């Protein structure tokens, strides 16, 4: 596990109660997972609001959950509000002496770095996002079914992830997709509020998404549709690209979109 001290003032709230208030957060990256989070010194956590609890029942994988072994789970209880499994202590010795609190929406109400609200996960100091307009010819298929064909992509380059191709909606085969309810957040790009699955493969969820009002730094992707390279077959300038491998390679609900992936 990689760790790095950060000198930001970080707070996490339930209502108006600061459950975390630290000026010495430790940023850490769990093995084989690109999204960092904070481990916090016990002295900077309202431990009187933590109640030890049993592990949660087995559930679908989520980027908001710990990616490694947990030595103890906690509910966060503020007044009559109980936030189940909102905190934990990891078994990894690099952070075992600290506490980790969840960024899953609906558990803690908000996180701030200094006085700016941050959603999804902490910002990575080594993370870079760049967008470039292009005239490359991009073709997207799944199991031989055409999903998109465009010569007007916007390419989004993001540290630790495969290049994403954001395509004009008119270059996407709408009949091959089915709209799905989902709303995710990326600290670098904003809210993605439109998602699609495959009409012919309903078990494949969230294969494509769109940011209607992205952050200014990536405004060129506004209204465009991108597909998970990990789940489709891409050709770029008539050359097939190998399927990318990442935490999003499996056909499973990718609620991780709130963090990193798109």
Alpha helix (H) residue ranges in the chain: none
This prediction's pTM: 0.71
Give the pLDDT means over successive 10-residue stretches in the chain (262 positions): 94 98 96 90 98 89 89 97 97 96 94 92 90 97 95 94 95 95 88 92 87 95 96 95 76 43 42
**Of 220, 223, 241, 224, whose CA–CA distance to 232 is shortest?**
241
Q: 236 near 243, Cβ under 8 Å?
A: no
pLDDT on residue 80: 95
Specify which residues 226 forms β-bridges with.
209
Distance between terminal CA atoms of the chain? 24
**d(Cα 43, Cα 120) in Å, to the nearest integer?**
24
pLDDT on residue 260: 38
**d(Cα 6, Cα 50) in Å, to the nearest integer?**
24
């Amino acid at each position: 596990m990689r760790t790095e001290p950060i000198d930001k003032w970080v707070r996490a709230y339930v209502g108006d109660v600061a459950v975390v208030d630290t000026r010495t957060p430790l940023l850490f990256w769990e093995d084989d997972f690109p999204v960092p989070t904070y481990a916090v010194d016990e002295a900077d956590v309202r431990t009187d609001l933590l109640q030890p609890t049993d592990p949660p029942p087995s559930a679908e994988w989520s980027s908001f959950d710990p990616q490694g072994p947990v030595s103890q789970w906690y509910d966060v209880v503020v007044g009559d509000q109980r936030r189940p499994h909102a905190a934990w202590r990891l078994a990894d010795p690099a952070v075992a002496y600290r506490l980790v609190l969840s960024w899953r929406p609906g558990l803690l109400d908000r996180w701030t770095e200094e006085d700016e609200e941050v959603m999804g996960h902490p910002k990575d100091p080594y993370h870079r996002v760049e967008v470039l307009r292009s005239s490359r010819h991009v073709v997207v298929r799944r199991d031989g079914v055409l999903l998109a064909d465009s010569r007007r992509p916007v390419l989004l380059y993001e540290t630790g992830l495969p290049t994403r191709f954001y395509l004009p909606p008119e270059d996407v085969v709408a009949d091959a997709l089915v709209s799905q309810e989902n709303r995710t957040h990326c600290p670098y790009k904003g809210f993605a509020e439109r998602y699609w699955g495959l009409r012919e493969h309903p078990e494949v969820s969230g294969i494509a998404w769109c940011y209607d009002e992205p952050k200014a730094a990536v405004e060129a992707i506004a209204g465009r549709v991108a597909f998970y390279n990990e789940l489709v077959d891409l050709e770029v300038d008539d050359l097939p690209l190998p399927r990318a491998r990442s935490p999003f390679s499996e056909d499973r609900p990718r609620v991780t979109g709130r963090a990193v992936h798109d």
